[in-house]
Amino acid sequence: MDSVDAALERVWPSELRTDRLHLRPVTLEDSSLVRELLTDARVRAFLGGPASEERVAARQRAYPSTPGTWTVALADGGAAIGLVSISADHRCAGRAEVSYQLLPSAWGQGLGREAVGAAVGWWTSAVPFGGPVVAVTQAANTASRRLLESLGMVLVDELEEFGEQQCLYTPDGGEDDADLRWARLLLARQDEVERRHGARARDTPVGRSLPDDLNALSPHDLARLCPARHGAYGRICAHSQGHSPELHLGRAPDGGWIAWLGSAEE
């Protein structure tokens, strides 16, 4: 498997087109767009706030020579509305990360979904030995999370970074090599992640109210629980009906508490 940087160098530059967008490598003429994105408080609300002048200048210099960084423009010579990039994920060697910023004037039209989908699709098809791809966004950034989930990406981990809770997503399932490579990395630690979340969920008022042996629950108690079945073990979810679908608490066959992430399957 190539390193992410080596894979990008090998296939760059690249231009992508969708029904409404043209993704092209960033140029020096995009400096004003870079400045606007990095200093707009709305754009930067979940990215640590507006960037300093030094950071803006550094990005203006770096982006035009950075493989994997596109300016997102409206099709047929339209205005530039944002940036999308694929780069090496600093958290995990051999893994790529897709990042994105759009001007507020482009929000709410599905353009972000279109741009990110094009970049992820390009990485999967054009860079077959480039490794899996993830996206990380703040847990509080519901719009970004909806965008990723609308692309079929699934939540596989939560972590604290830059003083905020973050959610890590990756494309779901499939038969191609990129998904298989991601599965090899993910399966090695998915059980660990879910057990960590399970221990945390057990140490909440809801979790502490549950008996150690869920099989000892009465039919009345069972009827009050979430009816879904979750995770690789197919165990019951120990939360009450109507709970938030991001976290499903149950028991593994060896007795460990497991909190499965993602949507419930009835």
Mean pLDDT confidence for 135-154: 93
In terms of domains, do 8 and 85 share one? Answer: yes
Task: List residues bridging with 90 in a β-sheet.
Answer: none
In terms of domains, do 248 and 210 share one? Answer: yes
The pLDDT of residue 266 is above 50:
no
Mean pLDDT of the chain: 82
The pLDDT of residue 136 is above 90:
yes
The pLDDT of residue 181 is above 80:
no
Residue 23 falls inside a structural domain: yes
Supply the pLDDT for residue 47: 93
Greater confidence (251 vs 176) lies with 251
| Range name among 2-6, 23-27, 174-178, 218-222 with the lowest pLDDT average | 174-178
Q: How many domains does the chain have?
A: 2
Contacts (Cβ under 8 Å, ≥6 apart) of 155: 145, 149, 167, 168, 169, 246, 261, 262
H-type helices in the chain, by residue range? 4-11, 31-39, 53-62, 111-126, 142-150, 177-202, 205-208, 219-224
pLDDT category at 176 given cuts 50, 70, 90 is very low
Supply the pLDDT for residue 240: 66
Hey, which of 140-144, 160-164, 192-196 has the most confident mean pLDDT?
A: 140-144
Alpha carbon dihedral 42, 44, 47, 49, in 10-degree steps, equals: -110
Residue 222 falls inside a structural domain: yes
- Looking at residue 92, which CATH number applies to its domain? 3.40.630.30
The pLDDT of residue 138 is above 60:
yes
pLDDT category at 113 given cuts 50, 70, 90 is very high
In terms of domains, do 150 and 48 share one? Answer: yes
In terms of domains, do 149 and 83 share one? Answer: yes
Supply the pLDDT for residue 143: 95
Supply the pLDDT for residue 238: 66
In terms of domains, do 156 and 212 share one? Answer: no
Supply the pLDDT for residue 123: 92
- The residue among 137, 172, 207 that closes a domain is 172
In terms of domains, do 158 and 219 share one? Answer: no
Residue 178 falls inside a structural domain: no
In terms of domains, do 220 and 105 share one? Answer: no
Supply the pLDDT for residue 242: 64
Mean pLDDT confidence for 210-218: 72
In terms of domains, do 225 and 256 share one? Answer: yes
Residue 182 falls inside a structural domain: no
Supply the pLDDT for residue 247: 62
pLDDT category at 159 given cuts 50, 70, 90 is confident
Residue 29 falls inside a structural domain: yes
In terms of domains, do 127 and 36 share one? Answer: yes
Task: State which residues form the domain around 37.
Answer: 4-172
In terms of domains, do 63 and 109 share one? Answer: yes
Q: How much is the pTM?
A: 0.67
Supply the pLDDT for residue 229: 55
Residue 189 falls inside a structural domain: no
Residue 186 falls inside a structural domain: no
Amino acid identity, residue 215? N
In terms of domains, do 40 and 157 share one? Answer: yes
Residue 47 falls inside a structural domain: yes
The pLDDT of residue 178 is above 50:
no
The pLDDT of residue 264 is above 70:
no
* CA 60/CA 54 separation, integer angstroms: 10
Greater confidence (86 vs 245) lies with 86
In terms of domains, do 82 and 150 share one? Answer: yes
- The residue among 172, 204, 223 that closes a domain is 172
